[in-house]
Amino acid sequence: SYLDELKDPRSVMFRLESEENATIGFIVGRIVPAADDESSVDADIYNIAVNEEVQNRGNGQFLLDEFLSKCRQLFVRSIWLEVRESNTNAIKFYKRNGFFAVTTRKHFYTDPPEHALLMRLNLIPPVTDAE
């Protein structure tokens, strides 16, 4: 499915390599139309992963920073993602980077079954009626 994703022009993918050219991490996402404003675009992060042997060395932060930079270049309004409720390390990581919980998606994951926390990061502040 990642090979198919590479063919999609809306995809944003970064791969982190070791000195031996082995994949040690990656991030996969997509630029999508904003659900509430057809003149804006949002992004979804589908997957971010770092090899367990090189975690806690800034690799995940590097991948997320590259993704955020690309989204800013494309004038992405908000970035969305789902994370397992039990994945407290990932939730802390996302919160440190400005993501906030929006809602819980019941029974989102199936193997094993678990709820997902839907999180959002606003790159462009939302416009309110008062403005």
Which residues does the annotation mark as catalytic? Answer: 82, 94
**Per-position b or e across 98-114, b if 16+ CB within 10 A of its CB:** ebeeeeeeeebeeeeee
Nearest to 2, CA basis, from 20, 29, 24: 29
41 to 26, 61, 75: CA distances (angstroms): 22, 23, 7
Q: Classify 18 as helix, strand or coil.
A: coil
Name the residue type at position 84: R
